[in-house]
Structure 1
Amino acid sequence: MRSNRGGKKDVGAGLKYSHQAQNINGFEEGVEFLPANNSRKVEKRGPKRWIVLLALLIFFILISLMVGFLVWHFNYRNVRVQKIFNGFLRITNENFIDAYENSNSTEFANLASKVKEALKVLYNGIPALGPFYKESGVTAFSEGSVIAYYWSEFSVPQYRVEEVERTLSKEYVLTLPPRSRALQSFNVASIVAFPTDARTAQTTRDNSCSFSLHARGEEVTRFTTPGFPDSPYPARARCQWVLRGDADLVLSLTFQSFDVAPCDNDGNDVVMVYDSLSPVEPRAVVQLCGTYAPSYNLTFLSSQNVMLVTLITNTVRRHPGFKAKFFQLPKMTECGGRLTGMQGTFNTPYYPGHYPPNIDCTWDIEVPHHQNVKIRFKLFYLVEPHETLGTCTKDYVEINGERYCGEKKHFVVTSRSNKITVHFHSDESYTDTGFFAEYLSYDSSDPCPGMFTCKTGRCINNTLRCDGWTDCTDFSDELDCVCNSTYQFTCKNNFCKPRFWLCDGLDDCGDKSDELECSCPNGTFRCGNGKCIPKSEKCNKKDNCGDGSDEAECDSVSIVPCTKYTYKCRSGVCLSKGNPECDGKQDCSDGSDEKNCDCGLRSFIKQSRIVGGQNSDEGEWPWQVSLHAAGQGHLCGASLISSTWLVSAAHCFIDELGIRYSEPATWKAYLGLHDQSKRSATGVEERGFKQIIPHDAFNDFTFDYDIAVLELDKPVDLSTVIRPICLPDSSHTFPAGKAIWVTGWGHTKEGGTGALILQKGEIRVINQTTCEDLLPNQLTPRMMCVGFLTGGVDSCQGDSGGPLSSVEDDGRTFLAGVVSWGEGCARRNKPGVYTRVPVLRDWIKEKTGV
């Protein structure tokens, strides 16, 4: 608003009209001029220009605000959003009858009608809900006295959605007087509702893929996704399985086979299991997607006699789905208890299955007087997907006032007396495997007789002290050490580390001191040929090293001169980027670096939880092949590189003792095999060979060029347990210190016997110079050392020809090497020797076309 002060015009100021006598000379009107009081007011003028502009500006602002308000009012405020809430309520004056399990029964319909009327009365009585409430539907009933599971639909203005969700998040008891005869003597309590995933909401009115199952006695009930296993489950489907048991029992559900679309963020297919008959997030037990090995633990327990399994598919990918079984168990009457004696074990309920939700267990442990208690957790998995890191507010173990949760490797908790209390709690949602623990009594003055005591209380062998590897979670086994100068060096922080970790480009000490004593000074780059150049000359698109190594591992991709360190595209140009093949990014202009990349990906990508050894999971290494010689069983391993070709070691096919190992007819290949005693198991394929091609330059004395390719007599069908591994380009590097996996059915110790279950071991690439010092005059450029100088993990007899698998950051696996030879198995300072695959990549291509 504009002010009137000093701006109002007086049009009569200084001018006055009057009638006077007529002049004798003629008739005229008299005019008298009076003095002006304010000379500035004499001249009549319009408003100043800035005032006009300001007025126009304010006018347009007001118009804009009004238009905006009208747009918001008609296009936002009045926009209605359909919101579905799933919930459940307890009817306290009803007893459950069998007819309530049948949604088509008269009894079900009558009780459902009362529930819907009660919900209508409740919601209409709440100002924040009543105007938006539309309808409700009842999906199921269960015991206790009677629990009704329902959905409610609201049509809510967009701007009031949060208010409605906040109001519905409270628990209600129906206390309003009945407004209809249907609610007379109908007592309802514990009414709760939760926002529902829009995909799940569609199942409330679609019964085309809905099933209801009831366990009987001790029988096992089985069910599958539609079409399993002969055809994939329906695309864009909404399926659910209502699982029931008898009153006062609980259910045990196990997925025996599970293969749905991979987990991703783009509308993935998902299976949800609920400890309820209503699909509400606070009662979700587990969310599953992707593929699991048959040996993976997928057993889940309920806290009551019902469970709900839902499958929501948003893709058209072809996957078989799942096969599951369930049965009923007596409900636990107590959990925990009193434990006494020198030692013993205890675990979460139903271990190794997933513990049930909504449970508390307490163990009071007491050992003899003058002793202390040590709790050693051998396995510990209390992972809650929505748990805030470090808070342990959902599932946890509490000891000495401290809570533990998450995934932990071996850890120990001790007491200051001969008593200790362990409390375990799980909330109403997501569950896990739990823990397996043992308690021990010990003398506090000597807690680990004959062993080293970590500051955490854990006992380890004295041989692990000061060996360069951290075996105590608090590093206490590697503190205050005197390093063995023969095979160790001393970091500036006084840690001892293996000498072969020097100058490998990795910060093994933690203070980078293992990378400061290299031959090249600070600020320079060490070339592959040992030459030192300024770091400024690295990745400048010039071969300053002379061997191309300064341009081989650059973040930016550029075309550089071709050397043995560079990747060559099919077009003939070479790239500066290291290991560009099959990394998911097209670096070659012709796309050749990302062609033929249907390899090296495992269906079973879940982390294995290994108990008591290094057994692999079924399907964990789908390129692993077992080679059987006639009448002798398993002798060597091999790697699948395509549907018709394998890579193995040439020394496996040397004729000896009158046996023609070089003849294809001598051998059988078993693909998809996990257990040597189950070669006829489902998924295992047996093949013969058309030809065996060892390298022409193979030397059976030095084992140089120890590689062979084998052609199957007919192609193998690829599956979740049979897939090829990726072959690295000839420029691909596996640097010293890199962790790599070796697998096979070979001897589990030197001079021992072979394994039935496929074994796996994680080892590290050893610096070539160090390896040459350990095995003088025995290595060639076609060989690489992988293992530990302290021994302990290694390949052995029977593993020959098998894969050395390098798992990259994106999960794709490359064949880094082939098991070749070694001095004994897992000896100290005698690492295993493997054939370098990149060096022989061109030969493999020449012989197989792969």
Structure 2
Amino acid sequence: MKSNRGRKGGGGSKDLGAGLKYSSRLENMNGFEEGLEFLPVNNTKKVEKRGLKPWVVLVIVLISFFLLSLTAGLLVWHFQYRNVRVQKVFNGYLRITNENFLDAYENPNSTEFAELANKVKEALKLLYSGIPALGPYHKESAVTAFSEGSVIAYYWSEFNIPNYLVEEAERAMAEEHAVKLPPRTRTLHSFMLTSVVAFHSCRFALHARSGELTRFTTPGFPDSPYPAFARCQWALRGDANSVLSLTFRSFDVATCDDRSSDLVMVYDTLSPVEPRAVVKLCGTYPPSYNLTFLSSQNVLLVTLITNTGRRNPGFEAMFFQLPKMSSCGGYLREAQGTFSSPYYPGHYPPNINCTWDIEVPNHRNVKVFFKLFYLLEPNVPLGTCPKDYVEINGEKYCGERPQFVVASNSSRITVHFHSDQSYTDTGFFAEYLSYDSSDPCPGKFMCNTGRCIRNELRCDGWADCADYSDELNCKCNATYQFTCKNKFCKPLFWVCDNVNDCGDNSDELECDCPAETVKCGNGKCILKSQQCDGKDNCGDGSDEATCDSVSIVPCTKHTYRCKNGLCVSKGNPECDGKKDCSDGSDEKDCDCGLRSFSRQSRVVGGKDAEEGEWPWQVSLHALGQGHLCGASLISHNWMVSAAHCFVNDRGFRYSDHTMWTAFLGLHSQSKRSAPGVQECKLKRIISHPNFNDFTYDYDIALLELEQPVEYSSTVRPICLPDTSHSFPPGKAIWVTGWGHTYEGGNVVLILQKGEIRVINQTTCEKLMPQQITARMMCVGYLSGGVDACQGDSGGPLSSVEADGRIFQAGVVSWGEGCAQRDKPGVYTRLPVFRDWIKEQTGV
């Protein structure tokens, strides 16, 4: 058979140029011959062509299938994947110039807040409608907060954007970073917008410049809160062969809690992976807190994940690059010296190993004294050192440890420090010393840890050695010491003071109270059944002070009286976060006693306080004399101090309020002009009318400020205790001030703090007979060592209560010397004067 095509072309030479034609149309192959006949050429005989080889057919089929698949894939991508919607959230703020800020705007539940928020959302919707890459995909916007200036609105806007338009949308948002609304949209429902500032979803890339500090902050810092429900990242880079040093200069995010709180993470990589996390931060830190972190390479990643709508300003951080350490450790050959972890006191970098080979001369032995040691890592069990550690003599040390000594029985010792890839700490600071093995602590006592302490600290009832070795194998002096069953020696005045000083309670076992009775705070014995029965059987309220149940009881001087006149059995119920009075009066006026900084760092025997740690502490300067006394802030306008500070003396009229200047928010006496410090004049001084400048009875004064102070992170009031508030014997209390750190010493520059404890009133009266009145309380340690001193007068005794709120227990008044044995400090008992303070100040 001949094909139809062969016959069609056989009529002449006109169709020669057409050659063989191939159609891609889908036809029924059964309609074709198996052979093909070509048109005649010069040789007129017929040429019969065999069919295509099988492999050619296979290639054609495969190519056709590939082309069809590619076409189908492109169509699927175009109609399906290309149009996949991606959720994008942008955070920002806008300024409304013709609106005045109202207090109601601070309350998200107020009608005023809702009305203005609706106007802002309408304005944003109108703005986005003019941006093709945003308008059609705008899902919703929400206003999170308002602040002053004239009115600033903080918002977030959510979009569902097709995947192929994401980059264009982000560019559009970046281009509209400071958008001027068109004239026809500038006035919207009677308010005017000057600009709209939008942030991308907080992704920033920063590169360190040689010799320069680079600063970055959370969006809106410090004038506005960071965005709610946001995901922010700062990718930090440095040059090759460098490392980065990152410091948070200000840090204030939502308080850490068990719920999903806001969190800042720092990673030693540009990927947010847990095995490379350097630190996890939340809460608030004082500026003096060590928040410096080092990288192991030339990159760091900082992330902020906000899961709450809390209003915190966020953080300010700075970073710079420095050359990467070529080696760590070294050879130390002096008789003594110091060394530390890399970049101390900043956090050491991850993934580093250092070795110090120490050898002292003259064939003496060598020991290493660790003065500070912080190698603490989260979720690492105590006693194990699988991650960061110091290794000496084959033993590993890690965690947070008090001062300790590691000694060698030769002139050489090797110290090895290792950090793994995640989570770092401050590290350590150490001193190495040579010593004579026959007399390792000349003129001193050597603890089993190798530390040397003064001989007088041996067997004094206090563990000056971390391992208690200074209190072991002691022979107690029966004249002034009690021998505990565990062989510890304790001062006789500590026996039967309701405090377990021995550790085995043997100092409280034979205290004249028979079986089935308990001892009251005043020493009286009552039946156990009389505890928590709603009656003041002790006479000082101590038998009802720690009861869980709350009931209405007859009113006494030891029970808390609600504003409705009823008294409750619970001790110290005010401002504890629980409604104990039926009228709720125990939880009113509780904006006090709370620090702005939720994190604190690791006075005679005291130590430097952190900035903002005691925000009610005031420094009083007398004209031409500098700091003379302390005081405590109790409201915007009033302070409490000691009356003896304002007694005229040696020609100085200290009673004249114009002589004094108060410095609030002060941390260092050398930085009275620092940001956050408020300098105020006094309007008047009210000393208690019964104050006796000979006995120091009624030693309290009230100071009214000329202008009200502004509360801030470093200026806040302390809570005043109710007249029934109890500060039981043994309770830990803090004394603060800029006074002398030892008797006869100089005033210090940095605010000092020292922890002391309440001493039983009966014991106090025995120690200083005929001197202690009901308006006084003894606080300190009978062994001495920690106390207030000259220059601390008028300052507060700060008592941290169970819920973390701080009440003022007393006022620094007087004492015999400073920090002497069996001579505790004497303080004005503040609850006694609560009614008088209320009468004079209204606070």
Q: TM-score range by the shorter chain?
A: 0.7 to 0.9
CA contact (8 A) 2:737 2:752 kept: yes
For residues 148-168 of structure 1, what are the alpha-carbon distances to aligned partners after superposition, in whole Å with 9 as ceiling and x for unaligned?
xxxxxxxxxxxxxxxxxxxxx
What is the deviation of 1:229?
2.0
Q: 2:235 aligns with which of 230, 242, 248?
A: 242
What is the deviation of 1:487?
3.4
What is the deviation of 1:814?
1.0
Q: What's 1:421 paired with?
A: 414
What is the deviation of 1:225?
1.7
Q: What's 2:741 paired with?
A: 748
My pick for the range that moved more, 791-800 or 312-321, is: 312-321
- Distance in structure 2 (CA, Å) of the matches to 1:484 and 1:655: 46
Q: What's 2:713 paired with?
A: 720
For residues 414-461 of structure 1, what are the alpha-carbon distances to aligned partners after superposition, in whole Å with 9 as ceiling and x for unaligned?
223332221111111110000011112222222111100111211111
Q: What's 2:451 paired with?
A: 458
What is the deviation of 1:646?
0.6
Q: How many residues align?
A: 651
Q: What's 1:355 paired with?
A: 348
State the secondary structure of the residue aligned to 2:370.
Answer: strand
Q: Does 1:781 align with 2:774?
A: yes
State the secondary structure of the residue aligned to 2:627.
Answer: strand
- Distance in structure 1 (CA, Å) of the matches to 2:667 and 2:512: 47
- Distance in structure 1 (CA, Å) of the matches to 2:382 and 2:625: 53
Q: What's 1:313 paired with?
A: 306
- Distance in structure 1 (CA, Å) of the matches to 2:278 and 2:254: 20
- Distance in structure 2 (CA, Å) of the matches to 1:799 and 1:630: 18
Q: What's 2:791 paired with?
A: 798
State the secondary structure of the residue aligned to 2:543.
Answer: helix
- Distance in structure 1 (CA, Å) of the matches to 2:728 and 2:537: 21
State the secondary structure of the residue aligned to 1:550.
Answer: coil
My pick for the range that moved more, 363-372 or 292-301, is: 363-372
Q: What's 1:704 paired with?
A: 697
State the secondary structure of the residue aligned to 1:748.
Answer: coil
Q: Aligned residues: percent identity?
A: 75
Amino acid in structure 1 at the alignment position of 2:333? T
Q: What's 1:38 paired with?
A: none
Q: Does 1:762 align with 2:755?
A: yes
Amino acid in structure 2 at the alignment position of 1:586? K
- Distance in structure 2 (CA, Å) of the matches to 1:680 and 1:842: 36
- Distance in structure 1 (CA, Å) of the matches to 2:483 and 2:270: 61
For residues 688-707 of structure 1, what are the alpha-carbon distances to aligned partners after superposition, in whole Å with 9 as ceiling and x for unaligned?
22221111111111110101
Q: Does 1:365 align with 2:346?
A: no
Q: 1:216 aligns with which of 203, 209, 212?
A: 209
- Distance in structure 2 (CA, Å) of the matches to 1:275 and 1:529: 58
Amino acid in structure 2 at the alignment position of 1:560? V
Q: Does 1:401 align with 2:394?
A: yes
Alignment of 1:624-703 (within 5 A): 624-703=617-696
CA contact (8 A) 1:374 1:440 kept: yes
Q: Does 1:230 align with 2:211?
A: no
Amino acid in structure 1 at the alignment position of 2:790? Q
Q: What's 1:445 paired with?
A: 438
For residues 575-606 of structure 1, what are the alpha-carbon distances to aligned partners after superposition, in whole Å with 9 as ceiling and x for unaligned?
22222222222222222222222211112242
- Distance in structure 2 (CA, Å) of the matches to 1:306 and 1:417: 43
Q: 1:495 aligns with which of 480, 488, 508?
A: 488
Q: Does 1:265 align with 2:268?
A: no
Q: Does 1:829 align with 2:822?
A: yes
CA contact (8 A) 2:606 2:754 kept: no
Q: What's 1:591 paired with?
A: 584
From the superposition, tell whether residues 543 and 780 of structure 1 become closer, same or farther in structure 2 (CA, over 3 Å): closer
Q: What's 2:504 paired with?
A: 511
- Distance in structure 1 (CA, Å) of the matches to 2:202 and 2:492: 63
Q: What's 2:383 paired with?
A: 390
What is the deviation of 1:476?
0.9
State the secondary structure of the residue aligned to 1:789.
Answer: coil
Amino acid in structure 2 at the alignment position of 1:322? F
What is the deviation of 1:500?
3.0
What is the deviation of 1:608?
1.9
CA contact (8 A) 2:267 2:278 kept: yes
Amino acid in structure 1 at the alignment position of 2:577? G
What is the deviation of 1:529?
4.8
- Distance in structure 1 (CA, Å) of the matches to 2:540 and 2:231: 59
State the secondary structure of the residue aligned to 2:608.
Answer: coil
What is the deviation of 1:547?
5.3
For residues 762-807 of structure 1, what are the alpha-carbon distances to aligned partners after superposition, in whole Å with 9 as ceiling and x for unaligned?
1222222222222121110101111222222211111110011112
For residues 653-676 of structure 1, what are the alpha-carbon distances to aligned partners after superposition, in whole Å with 9 as ceiling and x for unaligned?
112333332222222111101111
What is the deviation of 1:650?
0.9
Q: 2:726 aligns with which of 726, 733, 750?
A: 733
Amino acid in structure 2 at the alignment position of 1:568? R
Alignment of 1:526-605 (within 5 A): 526-545=519-538, 548-605=541-598
CA contact (8 A) 1:605 1:620 kept: no
What is the deviation of 1:370?
4.6
Q: What's 2:427 paired with?
A: 434
- Distance in structure 1 (CA, Å) of the matches to 2:381 and 2:482: 40
From the superposition, tell whether residues 417 and 529 of structure 1 become closer, same or farther in structure 2 (CA, over 3 Å): closer
From the superposition, tell whether residues 404 and 522 of structure 1 become closer, same or farther in structure 2 (CA, over 3 Å): farther
CA contact (8 A) 2:606 2:786 kept: no
- Distance in structure 2 (CA, Å) of the matches to 1:583 and 1:543: 22
For residues 522-542 of structure 1, what are the alpha-carbon distances to aligned partners after superposition, in whole Å with 9 as ceiling and x for unaligned?
331123454322212211234
- Distance in structure 2 (CA, Å) of the matches to 1:390 and 1:810: 31
Amino acid in structure 2 at the alignment position of 1:452? F
What is the deviation of 1:363?
1.6
CA contact (8 A) 1:629 1:668 kept: yes
CA contact (8 A) 1:516 1:522 kept: no
For residues 513-568 of structure 1, what are the alpha-carbon distances to aligned partners after superposition, in whole Å with 9 as ceiling and x for unaligned?
01112121233112345432221221123444455443333222222222222222
Alignment of 1:12-31 (within 5 A): none
- Distance in structure 1 (CA, Å) of the matches to 2:539 and 2:446: 52
From the superposition, tell whether residues 566 and 756 of structure 1 become closer, same or farther in structure 2 (CA, over 3 Å): same
- Distance in structure 1 (CA, Å) of the matches to 2:540 and 2:224: 55
My pick for the range that moved more, 228-237 or 451-460, is: 228-237
Q: 1:287 aligns with which of 280, 283, 287?
A: 280
- Distance in structure 2 (CA, Å) of the matches to 1:598 and 1:546: 32
Amino acid in structure 2 at the alignment position of 1:531? K
State the secondary structure of the residue aligned to 1:687.
Answer: strand
Q: 1:819 aligns with which of 808, 812, 815?
A: 812
Q: What's 1:79 paired with?
A: none
Alignment of 1:168-247 (within 5 A): 207-247=200-240
What is the deviation of 1:571?
2.1
Amino acid in structure 2 at the alignment position of 1:423? H
TM-score norm. by structure 2 comes to 0.74
CA contact (8 A) 1:341 1:366 kept: yes
CA contact (8 A) 2:498 2:519 kept: no
- Distance in structure 2 (CA, Å) of the matches to 1:436 and 1:809: 35
CA contact (8 A) 2:206 2:234 kept: yes
CA contact (8 A) 2:522 2:762 kept: no
CA contact (8 A) 2:521 2:728 kept: no
- Distance in structure 2 (CA, Å) of the matches to 1:635 and 1:502: 37
